[in-house]
Structure 1
Amino acid sequence: MNLIRPNEQRAKTAILMIWIVLALEIISFFSSYLQYDLLKSVSSGSAVSNSEISANDLREGIIGFLYFALYLISCITFIRWFRRAYFNLQLKTDYLSSSDNWVAISWFIPFICLYKPYQIMKEMYTKTNEILFEEANQTKAITTSYLGWWWGLWIISNIIGQVVFRTTLNSDNIDSLTSGTIVSMVGNVISLPLSLITVKVIKDYSDIEHLLIEVKGDKIITSTENTYLNPEF
């Protein structure tokens, strides 16, 4: 018997974490601007006290730590939702190009992570549309038109993150610190459209995923039911 698992709560949790990280991105932007202003003051020869420098470093350190922790949690909640959605879809079709395990693993393999998650997401969208049209007589469809923007912004955001990390790690003068701060602020700005599109990606699919229940008369498995087919991740 093919029993799909509930995924609505995972979608809500993933979306909530994206909003939280976005809020921290905004805070980080203003914090980086304060650091940029401080660095420009130092560069121009203006008097800057040690207490101002220490306060800046402490603020940036706290924000950096919180961002790392919350971003990691956000990634986990997104992948958990993504994997569950793909798993449920597997139960409704004879063939998909990947397994639900690959949904998680593909994000962490060099080079493959640059294209595979996008391919899986697009396949999930298009295959769900096909199944609902052909087997459930549903006319509601989800578009894949913005998935390219979603993935493009994700790649750009990660490139910027790598630049910021390497610049900060190798910063040994005011100019390099200033450059790293500017790039960090650009990354904060990019995160706004990326977050909005990612929320749309999750919400659009979540809004239509429940319709898969009507295909072949299947039902959602409750949290108290167990089956070897259902990943707990």
Structure 2
Amino acid sequence: MTEAGAKPPRTYEPKDPAGLSRLVILFLWIDLVVGLFNGVSTLAELQILGRLPMDTPVSLTEIPGLPPVAEVVRAVVGLAVLVSFVATGFLCLKWVYRVSLNAHALIPTLTISPGWAVGWYFVPIALLLKPFQAMKETWQASANPAAWRSVDTPSLLRWWWFLWLLSSILGNLSFRLQLEAKSLDLVLASDVVDIVGAVVAIPLNLVFIRIVRRVNDMQVGALSQRVFA
């Protein structure tokens, strides 16, 4: 029985995570490859710009000294990075919602709903902690529904969150530098930040691929006795 006026926990119907998990992993690999190409392209651009006088006038769209082929490569890689970021980000958030929903089907009393497991990524300040808390609850409920609170937070999740925060900071810094890129030194600084971001994205994607696989396997096992919606 519940107290008078108290809302009973919402009931969630589980959905098979396997197909979506495979798709997310595929796009994470694609994003990793695109990021590597972006890093190599940016490194080549950095070497060309490094030979220019520091007082050379530049802008976000016009950078002197780049050969025509480099300009084309820069545009194509930039578009590929944008498309990969949007597509991979959308699928990852969809996966976060799906596995959170399944976790709530196992444990209806989890504190962060599937909607907020995604929504907290877009709330300033709260995004520093809440998405991690949601993923932690999903992991715990998937690993041991009978005693989920006793499940320790694996180092895999901690590494993912550290790398994600670092990648977000670098991405924000690069964006701000690009907006202010009216001098060669700022363009060079932006390129350096982009290269560091491309390096950080490698372990970030690899760690998240492992998380997707582990959570998927745990949920398929925990929900094997139930009928997926």
TM > 0.5: yes
Q: Is the 8 A contact 2:35 2:201 kept in 1?
A: yes
Deviation at 1:109, TM superposition (A): 1.2
CA–CA distance in structure 1, aligned partners of residues 174 and 13 of structure 2? 45
Match of 1:138 in 2: none
- Give secondary structure in 2 for the equivalent of 1:6: coil
Q: Residue type matched to 2:70 in 1?
A: N
Q: Residue type matched to 2:116 in 1?
A: W
1:153 equivalent in alignment to 2:172? no
1:182 equivalent in alignment to 2:192? yes
- Give secondary structure in 1 for the equivalent of 2:51: helix
Match of 1:4 in 2: 14
CA–CA distance in structure 2, aligned partners of residues 56 and 20 of structure 1? 22
Deviation at 1:93, TM superposition (A): 1.8
Match runs of 1:48-67 below 5 Å = 52-67=66-81
Deviation at 1:53, TM superposition (A): 4.3
Deviations 1:37-65 (A, max 9, x none): 110122389xxx96834443332222112
**CA 1:116–1:160: 2 relative to 1, 3 Å:** same
Q: List alignment gaps of at least 5 residues for structure 1.
A: 135-140, 222-233
| Alignment root-mean-square deviation, CA | 2.4
**CA 1:181–1:97: 2 relative to 1, 3 Å:** same
**CA 1:209–1:132: 2 relative to 1, 3 Å:** farther
Q: List alignment gaps of at least 5 residues for structure 2.
A: 1-10, 56-62
**CA 1:159–1:51: 2 relative to 1, 3 Å:** closer
CA–CA distance in structure 1, aligned partners of residues 169 and 199 of structure 2? 14
CA–CA distance in structure 1, aligned partners of residues 147 and 185 of structure 2? 58
Match among 166, 171, 174 for residue 176 of structure 2: 166
Match of 2:226 in 1: 218
In the alignment of these two chains, the number of paired residues is 210
Q: Normalising by structure 1, report the TM-score.
A: 0.82
Q: Residue type matched to 2:219 in 1?
A: E
Q: Residue type matched to 2:108 in 1?
A: D
Q: Which moved more, 1:188-197 or 1:81-90?
A: 81-90
- Give secondary structure in 1 for the equivalent of 2:186: helix
Q: Is the 8 A contact 2:54 2:185 kept in 1?
A: no
CA–CA distance in structure 2, aligned partners of residues 66 and 185 of structure 1? 16
Q: Is the 8 A contact 1:103 1:120 kept in 2?
A: yes
Q: Residue type matched to 1:70 in 2?
A: S
The sequence identity of aligned pairs, in percent, is 22
**CA 1:99–1:111: 2 relative to 1, 3 Å:** same
Deviation at 1:75, TM superposition (A): 0.8
Q: Which moved more, 1:85-94 or 1:27-36?
A: 85-94
Match runs of 1:71-150 below 5 Å = 71-131=85-145, 144-150=154-160
CA–CA distance in structure 1, aligned partners of residues 94 and 103 of structure 2? 14
Deviation at 1:133, TM superposition (A): 6.3
Deviation at 1:116, TM superposition (A): 0.9
**CA 1:132–1:208: 2 relative to 1, 3 Å:** farther
Q: Is the 8 A contact 2:42 2:191 kept in 1?
A: yes
CA–CA distance in structure 1, aligned partners of residues 37 and 13 of structure 2? 43
- Give secondary structure in 2 for the equivalent of 1:146: helix
**CA 1:2–1:95: 2 relative to 1, 3 Å:** closer
1:15 equivalent in alignment to 2:29? no
- Give secondary structure in 1 for the equivalent of 2:109: coil
Q: Is the 8 A contact 2:45 2:66 kept in 1?
A: no
Deviation at 1:92, TM superposition (A): 1.7
- Give secondary structure in 2 for the equivalent of 1:171: coil
CA–CA distance in structure 2, aligned partners of residues 109 and 88 of structure 1? 23
Deviation at 1:22, TM superposition (A): 0.4
